[in-house]
Amino acid sequence: MPRVPLTGWSFAWHCLSFVLVVLLLIAPALWNGYPLIYFDSEDYVDMAFSFQPIVWRTMTYSMLVTLTRLFDSLWIMPVVQAVLTTWVLHEAVMGFVGRWRHIVFLAIGLLLALLTGLPWVASQLLADVFAGVSILGVAALAFGEGLPRWRRWALGVVTALAICVHMSHVAVAAGLLMVLWAMSGLSRLIRRMPRPRLTVVTLSIIGGILAVPVTHQLVTGRFFFSESGQVLQLALFVQNGVAQAYLDEVCPQGAPLKMCEHKDELPRTADEFLWGDSPFDEMGGWKAMHDEAGFIVKDAIRRFPLKVLSAAFDNTVEQLQSIDSGEDLVPMTWHFVKTQLRHFPDEFREFRFARQQRRPALDFTAQNDFQVPVNYAAELALLAVLVVAWRRRDRSTTGLAVIVTLAIIGNAIVCGAISNPHDRYQNRVVWLALFAVAIGAVRLDQRFARRRPDLIETTADPERG
């Protein structure tokens, strides 16, 4: 039976709820008086104008930032990010909830705005908001029900965009693709195992992954994912002591490494090694250290596998626990001024007098004291939802809970064990736990889970076979 189009008050309520959620997600930028600026924002804006890649960044998010050139304003970024995030939230709710879906959508939008840091992430000039969006898009494509085919393909395009804007999103999405295919295989052996729809989600993930090197090929003439991975891993080895142990062993044997000359000068943290007062620049910086960093990382893993695994486990656990909002949202009057004046001089007054630039810096203590325990509780409740959904044979909720749980863990591995633990890395995805718990709670009431006849597809689903 065809879907009944929205008309009259129903359509008006539909549009109003969507706009309200968008406003909730950009509320921090509106309160601040300007989009929130992070240290990385400067590089992405500069690359959007120069089309010259910076070795420690990917070009894909900067291609999205070129919208600021079209609108001659940085305001377009939080607006676009909030609209895309809201749309994916909307489609996910439409896919997982059968009745009163618009009320559920608005309620979940309000919960996420009040109880998580999602609005603060969406309001930043940064790709972080798309980390959670890409995961939710994958879950909705694989296990959501009741979406028309054209909307599934549209969701696939947005999900691919969310994946390609940062290499950590690519890594997590690649892991989820393997999980989905494994679940599909296991579903033939275990009847309770949810069987994902694979066609659109597979094409979306592969498209998002390939968009990174294709973008670099178009911009630079070279097909590559990232030129900074080895250096970032080396910096993490400096922080966790693996690099020091390796250099202490090989340097006395005459290893021809630049780092041997500075092995007693290494700082305590990865950030200090890359950006602070360290011998990194003296050794040649990112490009000059690329090959040596790769060699050290591979050889250190070979020589100290247990130490590397132990450090990776510790960093993953630390990353899972690091979910505070507001990391490094400090005044940018010394950092972003030149970029602001060079590209958006008409908005300099808004930037200069935004709340972020005032002293003292924005204080997130009260917000984190309230939200962090809520999000920890949501992560624990997510495990309970997974158990209950499995026992009830609710395959859609089980699939959503599995994807969100593994994505949160995968994000901690990618950002903690492979990069460097930071609150903003986990804060950008932890809101998914509350979303999945809310959906699970709603679906416990069969009045929500049961779809109306006008929403049931009458033809076989080609993705399920």
pLDDT in tens, 112-169: 999 999 999 999 999 999 999 999 999 999 999 878 899 999 999 999 999 999 999 9
415, 430 Cβ separation under 8 angstroms: no
Are residues 368 and 325 in contact, defined by beta-carbon separation less than 8 angstroms?
A: yes
pLDDT attached to residue 8? 60
Q: Within a domain: residue 416? A: no
**Same-domain pairing of 215 and 262:** no
More confident residue, 6 or 86: 86
Asked if residue 166 is part of any domain, the answer here is: yes
82 and 200 housed in the same domain? yes
Examine the domain organization and report whether 382 and 441 are in the same domain. Answer: yes
Confidence of residue 464 (pLDDT cuts 50, 70, 90): low
Give residue 411's pLDDT band: very low, low, confident or very high (50, 70, 90).
very high
- Average pLDDT, stretch 293-308? 94
- Within-domain flag for 417: no
Q: Are residues 176 and 208 in the same domain?
A: yes
Q: Does the structure show a pLDDT above 90 at 307? A: yes
- pLDDT score recorded for residue 285: 87
Residue 1 binned pLDDT confidence (cut-offs 50, 70, 90): very low
> Residue 210: inside a domain, yes or no?
yes
Asked, for residue 317, whether it belongs to a domain, the answer is no
Number of domains into which the chain is organized: 2
Position 228 scores a pLDDT of 82
Residue 12 has pLDDT above 90, yes or no: no
The reported pLDDT for the residue numbered 53 is: 87
Angle in degrees, CA 130, 230, 161, rounded to 5 = 20
| Model-wide pTM > 0.85 | yes
pLDDT in tens, 201-253: 999 999 999 999 999 999 989 898 988 888 989 999 999 999 999 999 999 99
- What average pLDDT does the structure give for the chain? 91
Of 246, 268, 303, the domain-final residue: 303
Residue type, 27: A
Distance, CA of 12 to CA of 44 (rounded, Å): 37
| Segment 28-41, tens digit of pLDDT | 999 999 999 999 99
74 and 60 part of one domain: yes
Do 274 and 354 have their domain in common? no
17-21, 76-80, 267-271, 293-297, range with the lowest pLDDT: 267-271
Domain-terminating residue out of 272, 303, 334 = 303
In this structure, are 176 and 250 located in the same domain? Answer: no
**How confident is residue 448, by pLDDT bands cut at 50, 70 and 90?**
low
Residues 198 and 243 in one domain: no
Residue 388 lies inside a defined structural domain of this protein? yes
Can you give the pLDDT at residue 435?
98
Task: Report angle CA 9, 11, 17 to the nearest 5 degrees.
Answer: 95
Tokens, residue 232: 């970032």
> Are residues 127 and 45 located together in one domain of the fold?
yes
Q: Write down how long the chain is.
A: 465
Q: Which candidate, 168, 122, 117, 15, places its Cα nearest to that of 369? A: 117
- Give the relative orientation of helices 305-321 and 290-303 as an angle to the nearest 10 degrees: 110
Say whether both 143 and 194 belong to one domain: yes
pLDDT in the model for residue 101: 84
CA distance 152 to 249: 55
Determine the pLDDT at residue 278: 85
Domain range enclosing 112: 8-224+325-405+428-455
pLDDT tier at 99 (50, 70, 90 boundaries)? confident
Residue 464 located in a structural domain: no
**Residue 69 falls within a domain, yes or no?**
yes
Q: Are residues 185 and 126 in the same domain?
A: yes
pLDDT range class, residue 463, cuts 50, 70, 90: low
User: Could you tell me if 215 and 297 lie in one domain?
Assistant: no
Residue 134: its pLDDT value, please? 98
Evaluate if residue 446 carries a pLDDT over 80.
Answer: no
Mean pLDDT of 317-344: 94
